[in-house]
DNA sequence: TATAGTGACTTGCAAGATGCAAGTCACAGT
DNA sequence: ACTGTGACTTGCATCTTGCAAGTCACTATA
């Protein structure tokens, strides 16, 4: 096992998730978003190139998976893997602290999907 | 209350802590480190300008405080405020996930301080 | 007295990450 | 034929990081 910066678990998590966007993509997936346009539509306005790069990284890291819901051109839907869903306690801890420190912030609601 | 990107608590936390270094400084403080050179000595090798900037931000955000332990030139020791200590559940959640995902990583030990 | 640390930063610049606008590609609909 | 949809890609300007070296006011050692 080769570590980027150190063998501290926190450091290794930050090497993967330590930026302003990656956890927001995870949040969107937890909320039920599945498609590219849905991620782009979130109020933080992620840039499309950043989103594409993050989806690649999360796929490579095994936190998400995707399935083609259409061919020619192939279009994908994304979902969390077990590994990705295991991040929920981290998101919950952040949410708890954040709501307390930033009065006026609110947990976003789950997305309604027609297919459900 | 004015929000940078959205009124999502997670987003606002990421605007403050969402990078590869800030949480490592917090980790070091939790482990008992207090002084500039101690933070610089951590195995991840934070650059001194980044460290100075992060300490400023954390001070401004009220997550840490400092006290001069010497004058001419003034030298400071840093510590976590209540607000900063409240981040521990987040660190614990990250630690738990990280240890599981990155076998071989280990929680760093508390620092021995002569003054204790 | 002279020289060499010590410690908390600051400065300058190169390298890398991010943000914005626009483009691509293979369709489906009108 | 013409417009729209959706998942990206590309180009380039700007912002953030990383690295090396410098500063400043001492204290310790020779």
C-alpha span between B57 and A110 (Å, rounded): 33
Measure in Å the smallest separation between the Cα of A68 and chain B Cα atoms. 27
Chain A, residues 49-78, CB within 8 A of chain B, namely: none
Q: Is the CB of A70 under 7 A from strand D?
A: no
Contacts of B106 (CB under 8 A, 6+ apart): A7, A8, A9, B99
Contact A42 B6 (CB under 8 A): yes
* Of residues A88, A51, A8, the one with CA closest to residue B90: A88
Strand C nucleotides, any atom under 7 Å from protein beta carbons: they are: 7-12, 17-23, 25-27
Residues in chain B: 116
For residue A98, list chain B residues with Cβ-Cβ distance below 8 A.
Answer: 9-10, 12-13
Which domains, and CATH codes, for chain A?
Answer: 9-101 (1.10.10.10)
pLDDT in tens, chain A (116 residues): 778 899 999 999 999 999 999 999 999 999 999 999 999 999 999 999 999 999 999 999 999 999 998 887 888 999 999 999 999 999 999 999 999 999 999 999 998 776 44
From the number of C-beta atoms within 10 Å of its C-beta (0-12, 13-18, 19+), residue B27 rates as buried
Tokens of A81: 């893997």
What are the strands, taking DSSP E only, across chain A? 64-70, 75-80
């Amino acid at each position: 096992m080769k570590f980027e910066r150190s063998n501290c678990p926190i450091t290794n998590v930050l090497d993967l998730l330590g930026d302003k966007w990656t956890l927001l993509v995870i949040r969107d997936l937890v909320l039920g978003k599945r498609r590219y346009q849905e991620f782009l539509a979130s109020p933080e306005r992620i840039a499309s190139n950043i989103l594409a790069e993050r989806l690649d990284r999360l796929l490579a890291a095994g936190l998400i998976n995707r399935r083609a819901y259409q061919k020619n051109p192939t279009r994908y839907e994304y979902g969390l893997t077990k590994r990705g869903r295991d991040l929920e306690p981290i998101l919950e801890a952040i949410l708890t602290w954040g709501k307390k420190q930033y009065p006026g912030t609110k947990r976003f609601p789950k997305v309604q999907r027609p297919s459900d």
